[in-house]
Every structure is written in structure tokens, then in C-alpha cells.
Amino acid sequence: MNTRVLIVLALIIAGIAGWFFQQQGEITPPVNIEATDVDYEATDIKAVQTNDEGETEYELSAESLIHNPETNQDEMSGITMDWQPSDEQRYMIEAGSAAINQQSGDLRLGGGFSLVSEEKSASDIEPIKVTGQTLMGNTKSRQVYSNEPVKVEQGMNRFTASSMTANLETGEYEFGQVAVTFTPAERQDKALF
């Protein structure tokens, strides 16, 4: 083939390509990525917190974690926490979401929570299970509270309360406006003599 034919053919292809790209219209503007208020994030979290003596205080697992530098809080979803604030008490906590400030120890559980307490030394005592929507507290003072209604179960005993305060180190609870449903045993008529 002749070089002139190849040059003419290349010019025709370049002209068609130029016309084709010109007909495609405007190129959409590039994606604008803005700065977020998230410092770091992770998924499938497993963490251990120790006390000043190096003993494990709590173990935590979560589906996801986001650290917000503006509030200095770790915001998590789908958490499970095994908390042992003293030699006598152990707590299993589950919640839909949580926010923890590592410096101050402030804790907020939301999306529904379950707090199950066990006394390590007394195996014959039934564990106490407290459920509700929101639980606030502090990991350093080992105090938790809820100003919303909670449901409390211990063995066959059940009641609801309008609020709750608990010292997790000692295992002491205080409940406000307790409502109990009592179902007595069925009456059985018997002759006395």
C-alpha cells in the first residue's frame, strides 16, 4: 500500500474520531469530595480496655466504629460489651448503637439496650436483666442510668420502672415509679374438715 493512502486514511479516522467526541456533549464535572467530620472508621471491632493495674475492665465488640474528632467520641453500632468493673460483678451489655468518649468515660447506648448483671461469687442468685431504649453512664465512675422506662427481670420476677440508676461496681440499683403485675395462684376450694 501506498503511504499517501495510509496518511489519508489516518486523517479520515482522526476526523471521524474528533467529530464523534465533539457530539458526545459536555463532560460532567468531577466529583467534589468534601472533608468529613470523621477522623477514622473501622468495621468488625474487637477491643479490650484495661484499668490502671493492667487488668481487663471490659471487652467490646462492634459491627462498625467511627471516631468523630469534633465531639471526641467513638460512635459504634451493634455493640456487645463484657464489663467487669469489680471482682464481684460482671455485666453483659448489648445495644444497637453506642457513643463513648475515651477521655471522660461518658457512655451513651441507644437503639435499645440489654444489661445483664451477674454476681461472680453467688452462683445461686439469678442474674438481673434490664432492657430499655437508652442508657447513659460513665465507664470511669462505673455509674449508669436511664431516664426512660425500663423492664427488669430476675428469674420469675418481672416489673417495669420509669427510670433506673445503678452502681455497677457494687451492683446496687435504684428504680423510680415501679409497676408490678401480680398474678396470684388459682383459688382451690377445699373443705377444712
Contacts of 143 (CB under 8 A, 6+ apart): 137, 165, 166, 167, 168
CB 127 within 8 A of CB 120: no
Of 83, 98, 103, the C-alpha closest to 169 is 83
pLDDT, residue 147, reads 93
Q: Which three cell numbers stand for residue 132?
A: 430499655
Q: Which SS3 state, helix, strand or coil, does residue 64 take?
A: strand
pLDDT at 92: 92
Residues linked to residue 47 through DSSP beta bridges, in sequence order: 60
pTM for the predicted model, two decimal places: 0.69
Q: Is the dihedral of CA 81, 175, 160, 121 positive or negative?
A: positive
R_g of the chain, CA atoms, integer Å:
31
**Cβ neighbours of residue 28 under 8 Å, at least 6 residues apart?**
none
Structural domains in the chain plus CATH codes: 40-176 (2.60.450.10)
- 10 Å CB burial of residue 55 (0-12, 13-18, 19+) is exposed
From first to last of the 193 residues of the chain, give the pLDDT tens digit: 578 877 888 888 888 888 777 777 665 666 666 666 666 788 898 988 887 888 888 888 999 988 887 777 888 899 998 888 777 788 899 999 998 887 888 889 999 999 998 877 766 778 889 999 999 998 888 899 999 999 999 888 889 999 999 998 888 889 998 888 766 777 777 776 6
Collapsing DSSP to helix, strand or coil, 26 comes out as coil
In the prediction, which pLDDT does 15 show?
84
Per-residue pLDDT, 124: 76
**Cell matching residue 185:** 395462684
Q: For residue 36, count other CB atoms closer than 10 A to its CB.
A: 9
